[in-house]
Structure 1
Amino acid sequence: MFDFRGVEDAQTLAQAIVNTIHDPLLVLDERFSVLAASRSFYETFNVDAAQTQGRLLYSLGDGQWDIPALRTLLETIIPARTAMDGFEVEHNFPGIGRRTMLLNARQVVYAEKPGKTILLAFTDISARRLIEREKEVLHERTEDLLHQKEVLLQEMQHRVANSLQIIASILLLKARAVTSDETRRDLHDAHQRVLSVAEVQKHLHQSGGVDQIEVASYLTTLCHSLGSSMTGESQPILIRVMAQDGKIGSDQAVSLGLIVTELVINAVKYAFPYQKAQAAVLVSYEVSGSDWKLTVSDNGVGKDRTLSERAGPAKTGGGLGTAIVTALVRQLGAQIEMDGGNAGTTIVITRATFLSRPPSVD
């Protein structure tokens, strides 16, 4: 054990230890008078040793340390607990402004002599609290902006839904008013296309405005809507959907929905020119990673009818349905194939990202 030659040596060592501590530190006697203070205490609070040592803590400066919370710590909490960590005090200190301090206190009781000493350390967390408050304000502003965005999005969705309903209603009214069968047919087709877009908008609204749509429920609802509006008792046609679980972006969903709408409309209109028992259209969707395959098949007349013929009356360059499907398939980066045999017609649209590697020559 180190043998101190005198009290002065012990005090010198103690003061040196105090001065090496980074945070401000005070050593108080049992009556809360300052026995010693660290260099960082003087630097932080802009005071000197002559104005500090030997004086009552509460009377330092102009009474800036006569803080009710500090009195509670020293006079009530410390005697009962002996130690306290993280006692937070916010106060306006002359010369340095308002500060938030964490106080750590320890009571030292000596075995061989009466009295006690209190060690009081300060950690300035003003910058940390300022950052936290700024984060809280930013969080509140963000929440407010998100709420405003949600309100605007709901309002936009409501207006879009109303607009689509108005357009669909106008198209049906026009279809009833015209005398041309071809024009009436085109208006009915346009009505179905508007409904397919409306179905995407409806799913976006039900999903809380997110940009991802569940493919299975989307296609099921879309085809149910198409079946309800296009098939009748004279020729009942079952429209069935088999889709794997998965999500796609709303922009892709719009294109996919329009493609399905066109192909289902064509199947219902042209695959069953006469009564057929158990007439059916099957829509299937398979997915593997970023690759997917959409298949629309029917058990209708099939044979050698081409996609252009199935899309409507023969026109130069194909019908409108063909042009729409072709453009949307190209937009999705997919390929389209058609098989029109005696058992019906199958149209397959595939998006495959796999590229074969050319064989190497050894």
Structure 2
Amino acid sequence: MMKQRWIIPLAPALALFVSAAAPVLEREGAEDDSIAADAPVPARADIAPLVDALFSEEGVGETRAVLVMHNGELIAERYAPGYSADMRYISWSMAKTVTAMLVGFLVDDGVLDLDAPAPVPEWQGENDARRNITLRHLLHMASGLDHTEVNEPIWDSDTNRMLFSTETDDMAGYAVSRPLEANPGDKYEYSSATTVIIARIIADQLTDSDDPGERAAAYRHFAEQRLLGPARISSVYFEFDARGTQIGGSLIHATARDWARLGEVMRTGQGPDGTPIISSEWREFMLTPSPRNGEYGGQTWLNRPGGVYDNPVLFPDRAPQSLFAFNGHLGQYVMVSPAQGLTVVRLGNTPDGELREAVVMRLARIFEAFGQTTGETDSG
């Protein structure tokens, strides 16, 4: 019998087609701040039509929540009927950026080295070419491992095997077992399996225990201590597999306001009270184009030309190129423009393809409404 995941069991049918939204149980002792009020915030008059368009215009799928923050102030917030500020919303691949934030603390602490062989025991055989994979390669989606993110039929991909079918018990074990299809560092290939490996590496540095509950608890405690607590984020809910590995490529849940807070941490490097959280060096790494894909940094999408896809993932001709994003399946976005002091969250259920492109273009209008810069200089 398949073991049940730790923390949150997720039905495959729901996970495939519907973004999860669950009521929040606030962490005891969590502090209130300017975006923790119960009442929704109306949109500032000049962007209200742009926010409304994400809900009302045809061709954008289902929008469930939109928030806009400007220079740390929440200036717009709207939810679709049936959704609210006290619900958690699934990350899908927005989780990858959070996982990168967490592993950065271990790099800054000197526990991990970006360019040393990744600490994966299964790769350390004398004749195993995978021993040349570094943490940098993993963060840049350039490990060279034979991972397939999307395939036809839909079940025939590594991502769906890990999340929903034969490999759910030990996702990272499956991910690290795959052979190389390219030399490490030579090829960009987007892979949720890669980020699960990073999540296991994090847990391995935090505890020697093989007990799933202890591994999950150590991971959660680390996230609380280094990221969530200083950022005053109280709703984040992690999913772990049966081995206690956080499903770091796909499954983190949080309120829309806490997704905005995470975007603000990446915008400023700080918590809302000015407490330093993300070092400038790690933030620079995450936001620097990777060698094999100019649109991708360290588990983070960049508003840059020169990507590996036919069309830009974001909109480099319509907003500062310093803009970056946490992107997730079915139209989950936390878009951040440091040059404009903007963080914009859009959560919903929009299929990939033309509808997703329409959502991105409507989000671009919000950034265009603020001009090129209102805060730090765009380093472009």
TM-score w.r.t. structure 2 length?
0.22
TM-score w.r.t. structure 1 length?
0.22
Structure with greater proportional helix content:
1
User: Which structure carries more relative contact order (alpha carbon 8 Å, separation 6+)?
Assistant: 2
